């Protein structure tokens, strides 16, 4: 066996791009090395750049492999190559970040070399950071929901878009769900775009009650497909087209034609299979930039529907939301494996309750920290008789994601 190489260089459209540790295995079960991951992105570069090119992006870096938590890098390194553009984004917190903007295949290879598996661009172009040109519909299935239900909800979403003179472009999320992208003229700010997305979600729920939900609070959704409108908030990003997701089979977020949505499955699309599909069929989203629409229809519908129902608030002056569901918190952990382990320990201590729970009653939430995710485990006791519901007790695991962090108004 030849020794592992420390680096190699690829000539990409006249540029020399360094790939460090090219023989490092990134996906052990799929047998995919770092160099092969770069080569995948080069094979689908036209489609990947259609989704992420020209947009500022958060660098989601898996420097310790797919089984470790990534860290999120907003600020691009000062010594980035000259073929990487930048754009300075300003956030509601008052902070700003100069983020990377890629425009060509060399830029794709550069971000993958940093340990990025998926691409996470903002819904704006670098030339206009305050007016999104993309509305994003994220169909997120709750536990217990199968693909056919996701498809049914997608078709309802398509009908709503049609009624509002908008064109939706579907793609697998690369996990269990489905994304629908909508190009819009950059004439509305983030607040208006989010309102349009929320209105669409509410109308989908109205047309498909029980199948779809626009309820933001997870414990209220049941076994339905959540139409996640908040992905259109200013600080949010989603994995763009042809992104490789950190799953063991190296699954890819893949654009589809609408006539494929019902017959294909997310697990069919991987780093191994997508390049051949791309070479044979091209990119199903090739016309997306020519289908620019207006939000007038959705914003008119927002006025017709009226304000969305707001959750009740605590009466102690804190302004905190009060859940309408009987929730208990089980654990807070640094990693997802630790969260799953804590859940199993709780189940072992509460075996009599486990059989009463529905799949959607167990919630493991990835919570965004300062630079990485942490995990919260909760259980909804709505299907447990009231007399048998346990009180909130000490957490099985109690990780503090803010320990040692210092910011204005807080001492370490």
Q: What is the pLDDT of residue 412?
A: 37
pLDDT, residue 223, reads 83
pLDDT at 318: 52
The token pair at 138 is: 């994220």
Q: How distant is the alpha carbon of residue 141 from its chain centre?
A: 13
Across the range 135-160, mean pLDDT stands at: 94
Helices 105-113/45-52 angle, 10° precision:
80
pLDDT at 4 over 90: no
Helices and strands counted in the chain (H then E) = 9, 18
pLDDT at position 326: 82
More confident residue, 388 or 48: 48
For residue 234, is it left (φ>0), alpha (ψ between -120 and 50) or beta?
alpha
How far out from the chain centre does Cα 403 lie?
26
- For the stretch 231-250, pLDDT in tens is 998 889 999 999 999 999 99
- Mean pLDDT value of segment 337-347: 90
Residue 149 has pLDDT above 80, yes or no: yes
Q: Please say whether the beta carbons of 232 and 123 come within 8 A.
A: yes
% of the chain exceeding 70 in pLDDT: 92
Q: What is the pLDDT of residue 257?
A: 97
Region 16-20 average pLDDT: 95
Please give the pLDDT value at position 410.
43
52 membership: H or E segment, kind and range = helix 45-52
pLDDT at 270 over 70: yes
DSSP summary character for residue 290:
G
Closest CA to 271 of 109, 53, 41: 41
Whether pLDDT at 93 is above 80? no
Q: Pick the range with the lowest mean pLDDT from 42-51, 210-219, 275-284, 306-315.
A: 306-315
Q: For residue 203, is pLDDT > 60?
A: yes
Per-residue pLDDT, 408: 44
Q: Is the pLDDT reported for residue 411 higher than 50?
A: no
Task: Dump pLDDT digits (tens) for 95-126.
Answer: 889 999 999 999 999 999 999 999 999 999 99
**Which contiguous run of DSSP H or E holds residue 112?**
helix 105-113
pLDDT in tens, 21-34: 999 999 999 999 99
pLDDT digits (tens, 9 = 90+) for 352-369: 888 888 888 887 878 766
Give every CB contact of residue 160 below 8 A, 6+ residues apart in sequence: 200, 203, 204, 207
CA neighbor of 40 nearest in space, from 29, 27, 53 = 27
Four-point Cα dihedral 132, 139, 247, 8, nearest 10:
-20
Q: Is residue 57 a contact partner of residue 102, using CB atoms and an 8 Å limit?
A: yes
Q: Which two tokens stand for residue 333?
A: 């952990």
Q: Using CA atoms, how far apart are residues 179 and 274, in angstroms rounded to an integer?
A: 17
Judge contact between 27 and 62, C-beta under 8 A.
no
Q: Which stretches of 181-322 are DSSP H helices? A: 190-207, 274-281, 296-305
């Amino acid at each position: 066996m030849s020794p592992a190489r420390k680096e190699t260089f690829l000539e990409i459209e006249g540029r020399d791009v360094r790939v460090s540790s090219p023989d490092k295995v990134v996906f052990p079960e799929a047998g995919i090395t770092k160099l092969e991951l770069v080569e995948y992105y080069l094979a689908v570069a036209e489609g990947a750049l259609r989704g992420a090119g020209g947009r500022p992006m958060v660098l989601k870096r898996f420097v310790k492999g797919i089984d470790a938590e990534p860290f999120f890098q907003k600020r691009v390194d000062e010594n980035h190559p000259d073929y990487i553009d930048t754009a300075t984004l300003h956030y509601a917190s008052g902070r700003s970040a100069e983020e990377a903007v890629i425009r060509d295949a060399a830029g794709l290879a550069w971000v993958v070399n940093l340990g990025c598996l998926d691409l996470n661009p903002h819904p704006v172009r670098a030339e206009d950071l305050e007016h999104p040109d993309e509305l994003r519909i994220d169909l997120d299935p709750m536990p217990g929901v199968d693909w056919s239900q996701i498809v049914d909800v997608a078709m309802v979403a398509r009908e709503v878009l049609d009624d509002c003179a908008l064109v939706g472009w579907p793609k697998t999320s690369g996990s269990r769900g489905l994304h629908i992208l909508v190009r819009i003229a950059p004439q509305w700010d983030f607040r208006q775009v989010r309102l349009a997305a929320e209105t669409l979600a509410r109308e989908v729920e109205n047309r498909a009650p029980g199948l779809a939900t626009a309820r933001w609070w997870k414990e209220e959704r049941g076994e339905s497909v959540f139409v996640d409108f908040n992905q259109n908030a200013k600080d949010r990003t989603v994995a763009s087209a042809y992104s490789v997701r950190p799953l063991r089979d190296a699954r890819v977020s893949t654009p589809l034609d609408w006539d494929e949505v019902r017959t294909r499955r997310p697990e069919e699309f991987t780093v191994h299979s997508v390049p051949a599909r791309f070479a044979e069929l091209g990119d199903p989203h090739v016309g997306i930039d020519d289908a620019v629409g207006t939000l007038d229809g959705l914003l008119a519908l927002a006025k017709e529907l009226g304000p969305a129902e707001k959750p009740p608030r605590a009466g102690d002056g804190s302004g905190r939301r009060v859940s309408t569901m009987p929730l208990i918190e089980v654990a807070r952990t640094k990693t997802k494996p630790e969260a799953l382990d804590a859940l199993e320990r709780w189940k072992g201590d509460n075996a009599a309750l486990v059989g009463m729970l529905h799949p959607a009653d167990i919630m493991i939430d990835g919570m965004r920290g300062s630079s990485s995710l942490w995990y919260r485990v909760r259980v909804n006791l709505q299907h447990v008789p009231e007399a048998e519901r346990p009180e909130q007790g000490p957490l099985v695991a109690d990780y503090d994601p803010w320990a040692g962090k210092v910011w204005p108004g807080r001492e370490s």
